[in-house]
Amino acid sequence: MTCPPPTATLRPGQLRDPFRLLMDVTARHDGLVRLGRGPLGVYIVSHPDYIRRILVTHSGNYIKGPLMKPFRTALGNGLVTSEGELWKRQRRLMQPAFHVRQLQLMESVIVAAVDRAVDRWAAAAETGRPVDFLDDCIELNVEIVLGALFSTSIDPARAQRLRELTSEVFAGLASKVWTFFLPSWFPLPGVIRYRRAVAALDAEVHALIAERRAAESTPEDLLGLLLDTVDAETGAHMSDQQLRDEIFTLFMSGYETTATGLTWAAYELARHPEIAAKLAAELDGATARPRPTFAELRSLEYGKRVIDEVLRLHPPFPIWFRSTVAADDLGPYHLPANAKIVLNPHMTHRDPAYWSDPETFDPDRFTVGRFGTEQRHAYYPFGKGSRMCIGERMSQTITQVALSAFTGTFEFSVAPGFEVVPQYVVTCQPKGGLPLILRRR
Ligand code: HEM
């Protein structure tokens, strides 16, 4: 016999900080709670068994659904937002662009961007003035993702424009995401600005595609690969609209996520200088300066554990969405058809049933012996199942290289008096950035 999940009622005022509200509500229930009543209600899921059913064993019954609607207004039918046969075809076509061989072609782009960031940080260390580490990591990752997508087609002014437009789109999306609590007619601030930013970004991306189609040679970058890709079943190339959607998607999913993870890594290492020193000791002797080569990354086991632990405590996407097609049962609970679901890794990653002392930053919980089947089951910063992140390896590589360069070169602390408060802006970032004071090691 199943029953409806427990329900939490929204109180006026709680919407001022919807992210806090989600976390508070989930903390008081056992892995599944319904928030709100009627058609506006959502089911918030964090129990690892239910997450596995949704993302892996019964994923056919769980589509991205209406909560992804705001994202479709920007990303169209790209890989993150598409469903069914279109998604299957696009994933098949795009997977080769993320293979190890392709990633190796990106080594020079990644290394050059990290070296430039180290130079900027070194200059700041000389002056003693704080750097905005979040902003620097965004700049670093914009450079890398644009380099990987378009190689030489982007000059600094165009990169800056793309970055500004994308942050406006993100800001618009972040406020739109919370409309799942509100009726669709509710007037939202910033809608016109958001639409303008999407239209301008649209024009930029179409121009980049047109320029590349007109060019005589095709560089070995992601755009080149996508342009050359032919569907083995139909013999067709991607249409300009599909290319636009995929490029938008890769750009928007690519830079902010990795930048956010790196920023939380720096925050945790600043709070735990003994862990930063251990990481620097691993780098000493084992790697080239100022940063490791791709070949050296494999030997950085402690560094890898640090990153895994950062993504446990601070998954850059703390929530994302699904919807049921037909009614389904999650454990003892019944979900109707078309139920809107919020997946909540932020809470799963802090569930004391799976993680001892979950609020403590402890990279060694990822050592063999401590990180077993139970913990693997309750860990999914990059998702699970067939729709898992296509950029995981790329992101992990960038993070390892950049974090090694940073920790191997500098000691750092959060600027005195600055309070770090998490804020949901599609990814979860420290509000107001992360001001760090740097000293050369
Ligand atoms: C720390 C960095 C990153 C995190 C935490 C992250 C997280 C995720 C998560 C949780 C999903 C699954 C969403 C779902 O099931 O609905 C996802 C999907 C996706 N990610 Fe990432 N991501 C990261 C970096 C990247 C990068 C660097 C790229 C590409 C340049 C990328 C591209 C994508 C795409 C295209 C999808 C959709 C895959 C599909 O549905 O087939 N991500 N990511």
* Residues 152 and 257 occupy one common structural domain: yes
The pLDDT value recorded for residue 180 is 57
The pLDDT value recorded for residue 288 is 66
The conformational region for residue 65 under phi > 0 = left, psi -120 to 50 = alpha, else beta, is left
* Residues 181 and 217 occupy one common structural domain: yes
Beta strand 340-343 pairing with 42-45: parallel
* Residues 340 and 271 occupy one common structural domain: no
* Residues 309 and 332 occupy one common structural domain: no
The pLDDT value recorded for residue 286 is 75
* Residues 221 and 268 occupy one common structural domain: yes
* Residues 369 and 221 occupy one common structural domain: no
Interacting residues of 202 by C-beta distance below 8 A, sequence separation 6+ = 244, 248
What whole-number distance in Å separates Cα of residue 103 and Cα of residue 148? 9
- Cα separation values, 319 from 170, 255, 428, Å: 15, 18, 9
What whole-number distance in Å separates Cα of residue 365 and Cα of residue 372? 10
The pLDDT value recorded for residue 185 is 60
Q: b or e along 280-299 (b: 16 or more beta carbons within 10 Å of the residue's beta carbon)? A: bebbeeebeebbbebebbee
* Residues 94 and 199 occupy one common structural domain: yes
Where among 359, 380, 401 does a domain terminate?
380
Instruction: Look at residue 44 and give its three-state secondary structure.
Output: strand
Residue 227 tokens, joined: 């342009």
The pLDDT value recorded for residue 257 is 95
Q: Which H or E run includes 246? A: helix 240-271
* Residues 128 and 5 occupy one common structural domain: no
We report the CATH number of the domain holding residue 18 as 3.30.43.20
In the reported structure, the alpha carbon of residue 80 is separated from the centroid of ligand 1 by a whole-number distance in angstroms of: 8
Where among 357, 380, 403 does a domain terminate?
380
Instruction: Look at residue 426 and give its three-state secondary structure.
Output: coil
**Looking at ligand 1, which residue's alpha carbon is closest to its atom 18?**
389
Residue at 253: amino acid letter: S
Of 379, 374, 377, 384, which Cα lies nearest the Cα of 322? 384
In the reported structure, the alpha carbon of residue 295 is separated from the centroid of ligand 1 by a whole-number distance in angstroms of: 24
Interacting residues of 191 by C-beta distance below 8 A, sequence separation 6+ = 172
Residue 23 tokens, joined: 């976390």
The pLDDT value recorded for residue 388 is 97
In the reported structure, the alpha carbon of residue 263 is separated from the centroid of ligand 1 by a whole-number distance in angstroms of: 18
Interacting residues of 317 by C-beta distance below 8 A, sequence separation 6+ = 257, 345, 381, 426, 427, 428
| pTM for this prediction | 0.94
Local structure of residue 15 (DSSP, 8 states): G
Pocket test for ligand 1, best of 72, 75, 106, 257 (most atoms within 8 A of CB): 257
Ligand 1: does its nearest atom lie under 6 Å from the Cβ of 391?
yes
What whole-number distance in Å separates Cα of residue 151 and Cα of residue 169? 23
What whole-number distance in Å separates Cα of residue 21 and Cα of residue 24? 5
Pocket test for ligand 1, best of 85, 389, 390, 429 (most atoms within 8 A of CB): 389
* Residues 387 and 277 occupy one common structural domain: yes
- Tens of each residue's pLDDT in the chain, 441 residues: 899 898 887 776 776 777 777 777 777 778 999 988 777 788 999 999 999 999 999 999 999 988 888 888 889 999 999 999 999 999 999 998 899 888 888 898 999 999 999 999 999 999 999 999 999 999 999 999 998 888 866 788 888 899 899 888 888 887 766 665 565 566 666 778 888 999 999 999 999 899 888 888 778 888 988 998 888 888 888 999 999 999 999 998 999 999 999 999 999 999 999 999 999 999 887 776 778 888 889 889 999 999 999 999 999 999 999 999 999 999 999 999 999 999 999 999 999 999 999 999 999 999 999 999 999 999 999 999 999 999 999 999 999 999 999 999 999 999 999 999 998 888 999 999 999 999 999
**Looking at ligand 1, which residue's alpha carbon is closest to its atom 23?**
257
In the reported structure, the alpha carbon of residue 260 is separated from the centroid of ligand 1 by a whole-number distance in angstroms of: 13
* Residues 356 and 402 occupy one common structural domain: no
**CA triplet 106, 111, 113: central angle to 5 degrees?**
100
Max distance between CA atoms of the chain, in angstroms, equals 67
Ligand 1: does its nearest atom lie under 6 Å from the Cβ of 265?
no
* Residues 59 and 38 occupy one common structural domain: yes
Q: Which H or E run includes 46? A: none
Ligand 1: does its nearest atom lie under 6 Å from the Cβ of 395?
yes
The boundaries of the domain holding residue 399 are 64-317+381-440
We report the CATH number of the domain holding residue 171 as 1.10.630.10
Interacting residues of 118 by C-beta distance below 8 A, sequence separation 6+ = 290, 291, 405, 406, 409
3-state SS, one letter per residue, for 255-317:
HHHHHHHHHHHHHHHHHCHHHHHHHHHHHCCCCCCCCCCHHHHCCCHHHHHHHHHHHHHCCCC
The pLDDT value recorded for residue 246 is 95
Where among 380, 405, 422 does a domain terminate?
380
What whole-number distance in Å separates Cα of residue 40 and Cα of residue 37? 6
Instruction: Say how many domains are in the chain.
Output: 2
* Half-sphere exposure (Cβ direction) of 112: Cα atoms closer than 13 Å: 13
* Residues 300 and 231 occupy one common structural domain: yes
3-state SS, one letter per residue, for 354-406:
CCCCCCCCCHHHHCCCCCCHHHHHCCCCCCCHHHCCCCHHHHHHHHHHHHHHH
What whole-number distance in Å separates Cα of residue 229 and Cα of residue 236? 8
